[in-house]
Amino acid sequence: MSNKSVALNTQNFNHSTERRGARCIWLTGLSGAGKSSVAQAVAEQLRSGGKQVFVLDGDTLRRGLNRDLGFTEKDRAENVRRVAEVSRLMSDAGLLVIVAVISPYMRDRAFARSLFQSGQFMEVFVDAPLTICESRDVKGLYAKARAGVIPHFTGIDSAYESPISPELHLQTDLRPLEQCVSDVMAMIEK
C-alpha cells in the first residue's frame, strides 16, 4: 500500500469517528425472542423521523455474506466478527445500524463493542424465556432441534450467555412490541 493511500485511510477513519457519532444498536437474544421484529419496527420509526438506518439481520446475512458458516462456536464467532465489522463500516458511512443476531457468546459481543467508541455501541438484550421462544417456534426450528434434526441449536444443545450489563434489557414476553420499540427509541434519544 502506498503512503498516499495510508494517509487517505487514516483521514477517512479520523473523519468518520469524530463525525456525528453514528451508532450501532446490537440486539442479542435467543431465536424467537423478537430481535428481528424489534429491529424492523425501530428502523421504521427512525426512518419516518428522517434517519438513515440499516438493519443487519442474522437470517438474511446467513443467506449471503455468511452462507459458508454453520453454528459451531468457531463459526458463530466468525459470523459475529463479520457482522460487527460490516456494522462498523456502515456506521462510518453515516448510517445508524441495527444488528439482530443471536450472538450467544459474551466474548464475541465484546469484540463487536470494541470496534466502537464509548456510547456508540448499545447492546440490547432481547429476552424471552426459552419455553416461550419454543412455544412461538415461528420457523419450526425448535421442533427440529428437539427431534435432533438441527444440532447445536441455541438454548437446546448450544449455550446462550446472557448479557450482564446491557444498555437495555427488553423482556418481550412481558411487554408488547410497541412498548419495546419505545424503550429502544428512548435509549437512542437519551
Interaction between residue 62 and ligand ADX (CB under 6 A):
yes
**What Rg, from alpha-carbon coordinates, does the chain have?**
17
Choose between 62 and 175: whose C-beta lies nearer to ligand ADX: 62
Smallest separation, CB 66 to ligand ADX (Å): 7
Which stretch in 11-19, 57-65, 109-117, 120-128 sits in contact with ligand ADX by CB under 6 A? 57-65
Q: Supply the DSSP string of 46-81, one letter for each residue.
A: HHHTT--EEEEEHHHHTTTTTTT--SSHHHHHHHHH
Interaction between residue 103 and ligand ADX (CB under 6 A):
yes
Angle between helices 177-189 and 35-48 (to 10 degrees): 60
> What is the total count of residues that contact ligand ADX (CB under 6 A)?
19
Interaction between residue 82 and ligand ADX (CB under 6 A):
no
Clarify whether 16 is annotated catalytic.
no
Interaction between residue 144 and ligand ADX (CB under 6 A):
no
Question: Catalytic residue among 2, 5, 103, 165, which?
Answer: 103
Residue 100 DSSP SS3:
strand
- Residues 190 and 185: their CA atoms lie apart, in Å, by 9
Which stretch in 46-54, 76-84, 117-125, 182-190 sits in contact with ligand ADX by CB under 6 A? 76-84
**Can you give the binding site for ligand ADX, defined by CB under 6 A?**
31, 58-59, 62, 71, 76, 79-80, 101-104, 139, 141, 150, 152-154, 158
Query: Which residues are designated catalytic?
Result: 103
